[in-house]
Amino acid sequence: MTNVAVVGAQWGDEGKGKIVDWLSERADVVVRFQGGHNAGHTLVIDGKVYKLSLLPSGIVRPGKQSAIGSGVVLDPWALLDEIERIAELGVEVGPDRLKIAETVPLILPVHRDLDRLREEAAGKAKIGTTGRGIGPAYEDKVGRRAIRLGDLADEQTLDDRIDRLLAHHDPLRKGLGEAPLDGAALKAELLEIAPRILPFAAPVWRELDQARRAGKRILFEGAQGALLDIDYGTYPFVTSSNTTAGQAASGSGMGPGSVGYVLGIVKAYTTRVGAGPFPTELDDAVGQRLGERGREFGTVTGRKRRCGWFDAALVRQTAAISGIKGVALTKLDVLDGFEELKICTGYRIDGREYDFLPAAAALQAKVEPIYETLPGWSESTEGARRWADLPAAAIKYVKRVEELIDTPVALLSTSPERDDTILVTDPFAD
């Protein structure tokens, strides 16, 4: 048996929550390795809806161990709120079930303020952040001025960290017309929450190493999607962390050889939230229909998602960067009833054809998608659990997607319900 890393292979919102939940039944430990509470996962289990942002999706499964690695930025107040909300649905989360890396950087009120102030000042140039402080928190981590979870255990260390933080942020705030920070008030807030959050602190790298040595199966849960990666996404309209599979190792504290099978999650069409290039976007009735049928609204922000045809060129690109061995194709049922479907196979820019999306923003702005048209199907695929339950045209569509992205389909999802899944290849058995 192998470990499995799950990553989004588009711009996020691919349905990772359901797939991770489906896989978590076969795993012993589920670990988040990047991002913050700007990413949302929706799980539907026996008709009950769970909306998670920071908690690993495996937390809803009794007996499963969950962990948050140091590659995540953690808002302690948001985490405790999420724990309280999920408790109302009958899921108890304590330090026995959830371990948080003691080295995880904290998202503070100052980070949320800075995020908001920058977006307001940017005007039309805003990049569409969630305003939750993720970017500024990662900046402080890289700038070596972050307050980390373990720092809350020692008041002198906390004083030193706050002084260094204020020395950077106060000039920024002054330039944005804001008053300087109240260091004493920030310290008081942190000391107040410390007794509630510190019990979860642990050397997560060691916990995972022990699990590996004991032969336990580990599931690495990514947030967002590969096209939002800080290095390989559609920069600058990206998130502030690495969202590709390589981050599963460093963000959790395990070596690359322990990651195992990489499963990419892709929708049967394409969506994006916020600003940035989107070659196959449909600003017409078809795009509206995809959004309505797919219920395309962000789990965290509630923002309406932009919709378009499946972009095989982009997924082929992200599959190569993340070393994806198989994909889970989700929301196939949203395509039911279309007379014809289109798949983007490449791009045309100034008369030249590309089989990948160039990194230059000037070229991305002039991209024209090259489409291949396939017949649609009138039958319903919703709830299908076997290949035999699918219309011939739907199978043809899936097979063509496989060919164009040069990656096999390992799982096929036909509704939000976890059991409405066709298993082709078990990632854990690879």
Catalytic residues: 13, 41
CA distance 6 to 9: 9
Give the bridge partners for 371, in sequence order. Answer: 344
178-190: buried (b, 16+ CB within 10 Å) or exposed (e) per residue?
eeebeeeebbeeb
Is 85 buried (19+), middle (13-18) or exposed (0-12) by CB count in 10 A? middle
* 165 CB neighbour count, 10 Å cutoff: 21
CA dihedral 310, 314, 317, 322 (to 10 degrees): -70
CA distance 224 to 103: 22
- What secondary structure letter does DSSP report for 385? -
SS3 letters across 131-153: CCCHHHHHHHHHCCCCCEHHHHH
Q: Where are the alpha helices (DSSP H) in 132-224?
A: 134-142, 155-175, 183-197, 204-213
Q: Where are the alpha helices (DSSP H) in 204-335?
A: 204-213, 247-252, 285-294, 312-322
CA distance 173 to 124: 21
